[in-house]
Amino acid sequence: MKPISSSDVDAHITALRDHDWNIRWHAAKALATAGDTRAVEPLIAALTDPDAWVRWEVAHALGNLGGPRAVEALLAAMRDPDQWVRWEATRALGSLGDSRALEPLLTALHDREAQIRWEAARALANIPDARAVKPLITTLRDTEPRVRWESARALGNIGGKSAVTALMTALRDPDERVRSEAAQALANIGDQRALPALARLARETDATTGLPTSAALHAQTAASQIRHANC
Which CA distances in Å does 75 have to 66, 92, 103, 160? Answer: 12, 10, 10, 27
Residue 128 CA to residue 150 CA, distance in Å, equals: 15
CB 202 within 8 A of CB 173: no
pLDDT tens string, the chain, 231 residues long: the values are 455 777 799 999 999 999 999 999 999 999 998 888 999 999 999 999 999 999 999 999 999 999 999 999 999 999 999 999 999 999 999 999 999 999 999 999 999 999 999 999 999 999 989 999 999 999 999 999 999 999 999 999 998 999 999 999 999 999 999 999 999 999 999 999 999 999 999 999 999 999 999 999 999 999 999 999 888
Torsion of CA 160, 121, 171, 162, to 10 degrees: 20
Residue 216 CA to residue 205 CA, distance in Å, equals: 7
Neighbour tally for 95: CB within 10 Å:
13
Looking at residue 230, its pLDDT comes to: 85
Looking at residue 25, its pLDDT comes to: 97
Torsion of CA 163, 167, 169, 172, to 10 degrees: 170
Domains of the chain: 1-96 (1.25.10.10), 129-231 (1.25.10.10)
pTM attached to this predicted model: 0.88
CB 198 within 8 A of CB 171: yes
Residue 116 CA to residue 109 CA, distance in Å, equals: 7
Strands (DSSP E) along the chain, which ranges?
A: none
Looking at residue 1, its pLDDT comes to: 46
